[in-house]
Amino acid sequence: MTLANAHALFCGLKSTPSYLANLTIDDEERKGLLDARRAIRATLKSAAKHLVIEDKYWQEGSRFKDSWRQRPDTIELKFMTQGSFAYGTLNAPAQAPWQEIDLDDGMYVPVDFLESGEPALAAKALFEFVETALKPLCDENDWGVTQKANCVRVKLWHGAHIDIPIYSIPRIKFGQLVEAATKMDFADGLFSQKRISQMNRLPSDQVMLARRDGTWVQSDPQQLHEWVQARKDRFGAVYLRLCRFYKGWRDFIWIDSPLSSLCIMRTVEMALNEFDGFPSDERDDELILKVAELVPGYFDGKISNPVLTNLHLNEWKKKERAVIVKAANDLKDEMTSALHRTGDAERVVQKLRDRFGDRIPYRPDAVKIGSRIEAVQQSSPDKVAAPSVIASTSG
């Protein structure tokens, strides 16, 4: 138990938006992203016939390049939204216009694979296909296109974009892929096809991501969907809230940072795994503090990728690591001071705003201050190492 209870500031105010509400994009922006996604999908699906008839889209030296009769009659594109929009962890920017909201919409192309194990379509040419097909739509809506190494980025209104990574999957097994985007539950933003995942998903080694340099790499974003869903199933909705709170902290502290959203999500999971029992929905402020007490050590160590476990998510430069660890320690210290030591509602709010920004509502009246004696009595005792016992022969 803490001296101050600031849970309502993070989640639960009624007359004033809480921090969680202030992190949430408004309905107009959400609708804008979905409308743009719908138009982009329709345009690319309509243009897919060019993939069949134009030689430039096929790998050099393959039978598909040399003979159009070897190609499928049609190519039916499928799409699946991924990333924070799909997980339910998308936040409004803390520092607009330098930070933007985004939606990642993967484009899946069913095609035969070559004996080399690569898709018959040319990776580099697929970027050209997407950009060429979308040019009239972008011109009409005054959108821009930015070339990225692993996706095509469509710049929408100022402060928003859609990324389109390009995947190839074996045509012979294409019937197994369910178009997840049309069946997502956008009420909580999470991938909602758990019952389908085990029966009808493609093996991850058969999903290939196109790169602008012309190479294909194995990459299956659905693995990450399933990992996030499993965390939510285990810890409840509070897991996603904690991830969003820490993303909000990061975005307030830095305009840009090598601390990725996935690294934050993995770190929150690691911390929750160390708690006794399951996290409560009643004290988000206390949970933030408990996670903050562990985060600096995680950041200073190695944080493994939850899907590609041989990779680490915090392979930062020495200077970057020092900056991130210091910021994490500052958060821990400020949260400790606010909840345990201050005893003054206005100072609690100010200390939280110092770390999370003014999206923490200025509502000292919503902060509950308890008894110092009661807080000490009900707080968990610090764990102290047992003293060393040294053998002695003296009498």
* Tally of domains within the chain: 2
Q: Look at residue 374 in the predicted model and tell me its pLDDT.
A: 54
Report the C-alpha gap between 153 and 131 in whole angstroms: 9
Instruction: Decide if 77 contacts 153 (C-beta within 8 A).
Output: no
The domain in which residue 87 lies consists of 24-220
Whether 200 and 56 share a structural domain: yes
Q: What are the tens digits of pLDDT across the range 273-310?
A: 999 877 888 899 999 999 999 999 999 999 999 998 89
Is 362 inside any structural domain? yes
On whether residue 385 sits in a domain, the answer given is no
Q: Which of 220, 250, 270 is the last residue of a domain?
A: 220
pLDDT along the chain (395 residues), means of 10: 94 91 96 98 96 86 72 86 95 95 95 82 95 98 96 95 94 58 39 44 78 93 92 95 98 97 98 88 95 98 93 96 98 97 95 98 95 52 37 31
CATH number assigned to the domain comprising residue 360: 1.10.1410
Q: Is residue 387, in this structure, part of any structural domain at all?
A: no
Does 187 lie in the same domain as 241?
no
Residue 188 sits in the same domain as residue 125: yes
pLDDT at 320: 97
CA distance linking residue 93 with residue 291, whole number of Å: 23
Last residue of a domain, one of 150, 185, 220: 220
Question: Is 63 in the same domain as 202?
Answer: yes
In a domain, 394, yes or no: no
**Residue 177 has what pLDDT?**
55
Q: Radius of gyration over alpha carbons of the chain, in Å?
A: 25
> What does the pLDDT read at residue 377?
47
Instruction: Look at residues 121, 103, 101 and name the one whose alpha carbon lies nearest to residue 111.
Output: 121
Looking at the structure, tell me whether residues 119 and 209 fall in a common domain. yes
On whether both 333 and 347 belong to a single domain, the answer is yes
Segment 205-252, tens digit of pLDDT: 778 999 999 999 998 898 999 999 999 999 999 999 999 999 999 999
Q: How confident is the model at residue 113, as a pLDDT?
A: 82
What whole-number distance in Å separates Cα of residue 236 and Cα of residue 242?
A: 11
* CA atoms of 345 and 9, how far apart (whole Å): 11
pLDDT value of residue 1: 83
Instruction: Tell me: do 120 and 100 sit in the same domain.
Output: yes
Secondary structure (3-state) at 335: helix
Q: Are residues 186 and 66 in the same domain?
A: yes
Q: In terms of domains, do 5 and 99 share one?
A: no
Residues 32 and 165 in one domain: yes
What SS3 class is residue 127?
helix
Strands 101-111 and 160-164, how do they pair?
parallel
Task: State the pTM of this model.
Answer: 0.86
**Do 10 and 73 lie in a common domain?**
no
Are residues 141 and 36 part of one domain? yes
- Is 388 contained in some domain? no
d(CA 160, CA 145): 12
